[in-house]
Structure 1
Amino acid sequence: MDTNTEIEQPAAKRSWLRSSSSISLEEVNNTVSIPQNAGFWRKFFAFAGPGALVAVGYMDPGNWATSIAGGSRFGYTLLSVVLLSSLVAMLLQTLAAKLGIVTGKDLAQATRDATGKKMAVFLWILTELAIIATDLAEVIGSAIALNLLFGIPLLWGIVITTLDVLLLLLLQKKGFRIIESIVIVLIATIFVVFIFEMIAARPDVAAIFGGYVPKLEVVTNSGMLFVALGILGATVMPHNLYLHSSIIQSRQYKRDEAGRREAVRFARWDSVFSLTIAFIINSAILILGAAAFYGHGLQVSEIEGAYELLSPTLGVGIASTLFAVALLASGQNSTITGTLAGQIVMEGFVQLRISPVLRRIITRLLAVIPAFVVTWLYGSSGTGDLLLWSQVVLSLQLPFAVIPLVKFTSDRNKMGSFANGAVVKSIAWVATGLIVVLNVFLLGYIIITGHAFG
């Protein structure tokens, strides 16, 4: 039976509200076939897909805002933050996939089992805020893209973005593999656009390599640290950890030790490959900001400003249009993963299932309202600030997802022989400690001063 087809669902499953089963994302769980006795590449392509859906969150419009701001204000310096964030992301996403494969539970389900109902509800609320922040970036990014491409006013663009509910429903009816394929095509579009624009910007190659070397001023310069934390929040996104631990279970690997070990291995390859593409794109965006704007003495913190200045500074007439096309592709990609993550955390933390339609409407409205109000009051400059702040919100939420993930995957009682080894455990806890310390510092600064770094 095709569990993705609404017609074949029992009547109880078509209601707006229902109790959650113990199966993570039941509609797609164990639905994508894996060829047996096949070669490496055939199996890799069968397992590939979840990594692409996760990678979407690492190149959404929020990343664009922080990377462009970082490149235009500080040149190539923050490339080291992009690199470090990407390496941390690869490690954490691999751990999230391993948790789902080995335990048969997603991160939200495992956290609820370990903490109890009250704490699970608290963590669910925090995670929902992170998903809303992600959706907010998508709403603003898509509205800006529509404005740049077709001249649609931002307010109307924000209203139009609520209609992507219909797009998601159509894709869900076609099956999970179709969703993954469309996402991969959109990622490829973004990749090609930014490689072209980065080359057209003629960046300083030596400065690029120098930018990947960590520098002390990143943490001593308050303005640089704020943008760096925004990049961290935009790159290592908390809802992606819940998403990956669930959608990896869509593969029909054998649910025994040998089958799980093979699934973990291919999930690792899938994650590293997809997140390497995301790393290249994020680097290209920051490099573009540095070469096109910083090199000309221009500071650009808004996507619209980047659009207007790209063609003149690069001397390529189509550069700005391609930039807007990639932005629209990025916004639509994020629609899919945000909805899936919302469903996973709601079912996992509070064991509540609602219709994907209602789920999408609720999340989208919670993101549309602040975007609409800020745009109404402050215009495009307000949406730019809102984009940056949405990424800081994501950064602040990270520890509540990362700490349980590292703890669970290091626990031999839960993971058995799949538990993290000493080296992986040490690196994971160091990365977690770094995330926590930076977030505590950021939160303390905002509380004491009443504003963010500038």
Structure 2
Amino acid sequence: MIKKWFQNIGPGTLVAAAFIGPGTVTLCTLAGVNFGFNLLWAMLLSIIATIVLQEMAARLGIISQKGLSQVIREEIKIPFLKQFITILILAAIVVGNASYEAGNISGGILGLETVFGEFKYNFDDFSINLMSIIIGVIAFALLYIGNYKFLERALVTLVLLMSFSFIITAIVTKPNILEIFKGMFVPKFPEKSLLTIIGLIGTTVVPYNLFLHASLVKERWHKKEDLKLAKKDTIVSIILGGLVSMAIIVSAASIPSKDILNAADLAEGLAPLYGEFAKYFLALGLFAAGITSAITAPLAAAYVAKGCLGFNGNLQSKSFRAVWMIILFLGVLFSSIGIKPIEIIKFAQVANGMLLPVIAGILLWIMNKKNVLENFRNTKMQNIFGFIILAITIFLGAKVILKVFNLL
């Protein structure tokens, strides 16, 4: 039974690996520290929205045997609109993932440093963090092998390790189960919680995951009969990812101190209350979250570039490798010397804020096209859910853009 389940999980787990990065871990930590269990409902809403959109992306990938960016390029016939959306996708995903990659690697470093301490090499006033180079080399090796099954197994292992680490940490804190259920099913809006709620939804419903998922499923499955397997994989994996996010919120809610800014601080805060092993479990989870996102972000960017620019080839092609190598190199460079490309990150956030509602709208439009999906188009219920989520993404996108320009 367990062996069969392992054989059938795959692309969905990589999507979970992508959305549970250091940013999500940090935000869930702050949500738990500042608001206890009160924002668990926002996480539940995010999980439902993510399942609905990712199932559509997976169905599109299997039936069309094309990536989402390729389908968009082929289906939008108006030249100006096609150019605008292609540039927006490339800016948000390729440039965005390059700027976020340093954060992914830095998250993995935080996990390692919590256990092993700092490893920095100093040249006069200049210092390099050797941990970022180690994480970069691991990510490079896994991506360069270029074998989808091998990459999938490695990431599934890391996601299960991350899930185990965070969930065990939450159990160790002995939370009140009744309060957890109240937090999940009774929406509350504590004072100054709006931005955190927006953040929790925004870090889970991620535009680049829609592109990544549509591309990954066609590497794994090729027949219409595989749709059931893909749907089960999507639901199980995203629920598992959601449980991880909730476990971080639950763990953070048990810390009385408010001087916690990230998961590394949470690991240190848990140690005196629940013993050193709680700290090590959390550090291991943070390392796994960082390295899985450090692998999936360059991979997603390469798939997007391939679809938008129309170049051929597989995981081992030179053009595909060139894209992820550039993104990984920039991430290692920025994280190792401690540079934060603030302006690029702001630009990426604006592009992502614009892209999410645009892609959610286009995905809904494509999922109702008979020439693309034949008899596997959206049902009425799927469209209703889709339009509700589209409204949420428009709201989220507007808030992200207003926040970047300090208008919120």
Q: TM-score, normalised by structure 2?
A: 0.85
TM-superposed deviation, 1:340: 2.0
Q: Structure 1: which amino acid aligns with 2:323?
A: R
Q: How does 1:71-150 map to 2 (within 5 A)?
A: 71-115=32-76, 116=79, 117-119=82-84, 120-150=86-116
Matched, 1:204 2:176: yes
Q: How does 1:180-195 map to 2 (within 5 A)?
A: 180-195=152-167
Q: Structure 1: which amino acid aligns with 2:83?
A: K
The aligned counterpart of 2:125 is none
SS of structure 1 residue aligned to 2:264: helix
SS of structure 1 residue aligned to 2:33: helix
SS of structure 2 residue aligned to 1:280: helix
SS of structure 2 residue aligned to 1:212: helix
The aligned counterpart of 2:253 is 290
TM-superposed deviation, 1:394: 5.1
> What stretches of structure 2 of length at least 5 have no aligned partner?
121-127, 313-317
SS of structure 2 residue aligned to 1:300: coil
Matched, 1:217 2:189: yes
Output one character per residue of 1:172-231: Cα deviation in whole Å (capped at 9) or x when no partner: 2xx32222222222122112222221111111222111111253526xx4x312122221
The aligned counterpart of 1:245 is 214
Q: How does 1:52-451 map to 2 (within 5 A)?
A: 52-115=13-76, 116=79, 117-119=82-84, 120-153=86-119, 155-156=128-129, 157-169=131-143, 171-172=145-146, 175-215=147-187, 217=189, 221=191, 223-254=192-223, 260=224, 262-291=225-254, 293=255, 296-314=256-274, 316-352=275-311, 354-368=318-332, 371=335, 375=338, 397-447=355-405, 450=406
Q: Structure 2: which amino acid aligns with 1:304?
A: A
SS of structure 1 residue aligned to 2:185: coil
Q: Structure 1: which amino acid aligns with 2:243?
A: I
Please tell me whether the aligned partners of residues 89 and 355 of structure 2 are also in contact (alpha carbons under 8 angstroms).
no
Please tell me whether the aligned partners of residues 343 and 359 of structure 1 are also in contact (alpha carbons under 8 angstroms).
yes
Q: Structure 1: which amino acid aligns with 2:149?
A: R
Please tell me whether the aligned partners of residues 298 and 328 of structure 2 are also in contact (alpha carbons under 8 angstroms).
no
> What stretches of structure 1 of length at least 5 have no aligned partner?
1-39, 255-259
Q: TM-score, normalised by structure 1?
A: 0.77
Residues 412/356 of structure 1: CA separation in 2 closer, same or farther (3 Å cut) = closer
Distance 1:211 1:65 in 2: 19
TM-superposed deviation, 1:160: 4.0
Please tell me whether the aligned partners of residues 92 and 351 of structure 2 are also in contact (alpha carbons under 8 angstroms).
no
SS of structure 2 residue aligned to 1:250: helix
Residues 387/85 of structure 1: CA separation in 2 closer, same or farther (3 Å cut) = farther
Q: Structure 2: which amino acid aligns with 1:95?
A: M
SS of structure 1 residue aligned to 2:203: helix
Residues 45/192 of structure 1: CA separation in 2 closer, same or farther (3 Å cut) = closer
The percent identity for this pair of structures is 24
Alignment root-mean-square deviation, CA: 3.0
Please tell me whether the aligned partners of residues 58 and 213 of structure 2 are also in contact (alpha carbons under 8 angstroms).
yes
Q: Structure 2: which amino acid aligns with 1:436?
A: I
Residues 249/54 of structure 1: CA separation in 2 closer, same or farther (3 Å cut) = same
Q: Structure 2: which amino acid aligns with 1:326?
A: G
Output one character per residue of 1:50-77: Cα deviation in whole Å (capped at 9) or x when no partner: 1111111132222110100111011111
SS of structure 2 residue aligned to 1:126: helix
Please tell me whether the aligned partners of residues 226 and 442 of structure 1 are also in contact (alpha carbons under 8 angstroms).
no
Residues 365/397 of structure 1: CA separation in 2 closer, same or farther (3 Å cut) = farther
Residues 211/390 of structure 1: CA separation in 2 closer, same or farther (3 Å cut) = farther
| Residues matched between the structures, number | 389
Distance 1:212 1:235 in 2: 16
Distance 1:331 1:320 in 2: 17
